[in-house]
Structure 1
Amino acid sequence: MQNDAPIDRFFRSGLKLAHLRILVALADLGQVTRVAAAFHVTQPAVSRQIAEIEQAMAVSVVNRVGNALELTAIGTVIVACGREILRHLELARRDVNALATGTGGHVRFGAVVTIPEPLTANAVQLFLRRAPAASLSFVEGTLDRLIKMLDEGELDIAIGRNRIPTAQTQLRQEALHSEPFVFVASAHHPLGQVDQAVEWDDLRNCRWITPLHGSPAYATLIETLSSHGIVPGASNVESSSLSLNVTLLTHGEFVAILPLSTARQHAMRGHMRILPLAPLEPLTEVVAYWRADALQGAGQLFVECLKEAGNEMRKD
């Protein structure tokens, strides 16, 4: 294809952000009337934008189906790439806005030990990029202790594993993330070889790291193993600490369940293997808690960064 072909010219100099926004909105809403209402413009204005795209590239990006417009294969490709472009532009807008406004201050946050490390680490990185004049402090603890610290003004934000009933109208809570738990073993474990087939019976004589007795994760694990005739032996470890579990797993003696994001992170480094067994469906949510009457400026920005980090984990 020559460099002066219509498609090349369009992507080199004719493509506008308005084109991407219109096509992405059309993919989401399906009708020109709805797109026009969303953008507060007339229907002919939307139709002109679509016609401009098609004339510039000399190809169709939509087909009319009754009262709706349906994307062609070419339109679908543009929309998929357009979503990513618009997402990155929104991230840039947030970063630039935070830098321009000079967000500062100090944020104190805490989390229970079962929170996946990528969520908090990514949120911290986002926050410090957008608010380089701000600072953070972090503690780990049980949820009841973290909520007590929130109540007493010692924390701005807490992160736990479950929604909590509360009569306190000022306490806000919002789900950030949920994910399945997967079965894992160290790369040094007999089941840890990548090409090793694994059946449920292979878990029968394994040593386990299990969640704490009485927790929802423990009950689900035991129920799943029992359905395959497996009862963990006496020489197991009960732990809710992700860092301890990962350290024990790397020595090669145990199998365990881990949140998918944590397991994938260590599997990519070659430290462990995600066993080819059906995962346990999401057991709990990761939830952020804060006092609406005490959260301002940098704290509000950090909550937004936590939400964004949770959204990114869902995409992965």
Structure 2
Amino acid sequence: MTPPLHSIISRLHLKQLRLVVALGEHGSLLKASQQVALTQPGASKSLQEIETTFGTPLFIRTNRGLEPNAVGHCVIRYARLIQTDLAHLRDELVGILRGQGGRVSAGVIMGAVPLLTDAISALVARQPELSVEIVEDTSATLLAQLDAGRLDLAICRTSIPQAPQVYESVKLQDETLAVIANIGHPLRRAKKLTLQQLAPYRWVVYRANMPMRLLLEAEFRDCGIRFPQHLLETTSAFATLALLQANPSFVALVSIEVAQFFAHQQMSCILPLALSSRSEPYELVTRKGAQVSPAAKLLFDELMHRRS
């Protein structure tokens, strides 16, 4: 039986987590003990204590050494996350004590990536000691990470969750959509295109039920055209670009900011298709009632300065 959370918290020590990570790296109690500055008997005792804390063995003893079992792999993964979080804590403390710098974790949906990166570029030019983590994902995933305290803020949409009232959100910018393709696409030189002309091509789109995907489905429906069956689905800007580079006949629906960035770098072209539907605006979202760090406040203010 797995012990309750309060029991794990009260009995677990950071040095034990360091030992678990070291055992995962070396598979040897001797080498792991040397890495964490313990004697081998001390490391053996510490491993026994941590396995007692979790109520189950973490490693399989073999003639090749110690190999993590399924539970061991899980504990090692979270032990590494805890160590990373502590490193981030130290970085932020250093920034606060120096009166500058610090660390901020920002989430962003694909379409708003250029908006966030422009703001970060301007901010770090003024605050060179600032550290920033950027997480690109869907609105639902970013809001979940806000809930868990792993993000300070996110540029996404609050229409996705069951309880949008738990977030503070400010409209940041309207989203305009564009269709892009490889610079060698057969229709790249067209002056004006219709959805009927583009419908036969292979589309790279967001997965089902995402706002951008729903908008594209509505465009096809309003034109009386059957929505393509064989799609390439991704929420990654890089995967979208890689697919367009791999096949000159593919087309993709992205935000105008992403489209213009790719076109400016001559990585894709914007096809002249006018879309009648409007997408939901980007929102700058924080968790209601959450304490905002000084570094996060700097980025928040920079983004608000750029809102349209």
Give the TM-score band, short-chain normalised.
0.5 to 0.7
Q: CA separation in 2, counterparts of 1:199 and 1:109?
A: 37
Q: Are the structure 2 counterparts of residues 276 and 222 from structure 1 closer, same or farther at C-alpha, using a change threshold of 3 Å? A: same
Q: Does 1:159 align with 2:155?
A: yes
TM-superposed CA distance for 1:222, in Å, is: 2.1
Q: TM-score of the superposition, structure 1-length normalised?
A: 0.58
Q: Are 2:304 and 1:307 aligned?
A: yes
Q: How far, CA to CA, are the matches of 1:212 and 1:222 in structure 2?
A: 11
List runs of 5+ in structure 2 lacking aligned partners: 1-97
State the alpha-carbon separation in 1 of the partners of residues 157 and 165 from structure 2: 19
Cα separation, 2, equivalents of 1:268 and 1:199: 24
1:176·1:307 contact (CA, 8 Å) conserved in 2?
yes
**Equivalent residue number for residue 50 of structure 1:** none
Of 213, 219, 224, the match for 2:219: 224
Distance 2:128 2:149 in 1: 24
Cα deviation, 1:157-177, whole Å, max 9, x if unaligned, reads: 122133454454xx4221212
Give the aligned residue type for 1:154. Answer: R
CA deviations on 1:240-284 (whole Å, 9 max, x unpaired) are: 322211221233131121111111222233332222221344312
Gap change, CA 1:116 and 1:249, over 3 Å in 2: farther
Q: Unmatched 5+ residue regions in structure 1?
A: 1-100, 312-316
CA distance in 1, matches of 2:150, 2:157: 20
Alpha carbons of structure 1 residues 151 and 233: separation in structure 2 relative to 1, 3 Å = closer
* 1:181-200 mapped onto 2 (5 Å cutoff): 181-193=177-189, 195=190, 198-200=193-195
How far 1:302 sits from its partner (Å)? Answer: 0.7
**Partner residue in 2 for 1:202:** 197
Q: List aligned pairs for 1:25-40, cutoff 5 A.
A: none
Which amino acid counterpart does residue 183 of structure 1 have in structure 2? Answer: V
Match of 2:27 in 1: none
**For residue 205 of structure 1, what is the amino acid of its counterpart?**
P
Residue number among 253, 258, 263 corresponding to 1:257 in the alignment: 253
1:237 aligns with 2:232: yes
SS of the residue 1:117 aligns to: helix
Contact 1:183 1:277 in 2 (8 A): yes
Aligned-residue offset at 1:103: 3.0
- Identify if the C-alpha distance between structure 1 residues 137 and 183 changes in structure 2 by more than 3 Å, giving closer, same or farther: closer
The 8 Å contact of residues 162 and 284 in structure 1, kept in 2 or not, is answered as no
* Alignment partners' CA distance in 2, 1:166 and 1:116: 20
CA distances 1:125-168 after superposition (whole Å, capped 9, x unpaired): 12212222322222234434433433333322122133454454
Using the aligned pairs only, state the percent identity.
26
**SS at 2:105's partner residue?**
strand
Matched residues in 1 for 2:223 and 2:139: separation?
33
Aligned to 2:13: none
Residues in 2 aligned to 1:281 and 1:102: alpha-carbon distance in whole angstroms: 47
| TM-score with structure 2 setting the length | 0.59
Aligned 8 A contact 2:180 2:251 in 1 = yes
Contact 1:186 1:273 in 2 (8 A): yes
1:28-177 map, 5 Å: 102-112=99-109, 114-163=110-159, 165-168=163-166, 171-177=167-173
CA RMSD of aligned residues (A): 2.6
Contact 1:211 1:218 in 2 (8 A): yes
1:196: how far off?
5.6
Query: In 1, are the aligned partners of 2:221 and 2:227 still within 8 Å (CA)?
Result: no
Instruction: Name the amino acid aligned to 1:124.
Output: I
Contact 1:211 1:239 in 2 (8 A): yes
Q: Output the CA distance in 2 between the equivalents of 1:148 and 1:215.
A: 16
**Letter matched to residue 209 of structure 2:** G
1:288 — aligned with what?
Answer: 284
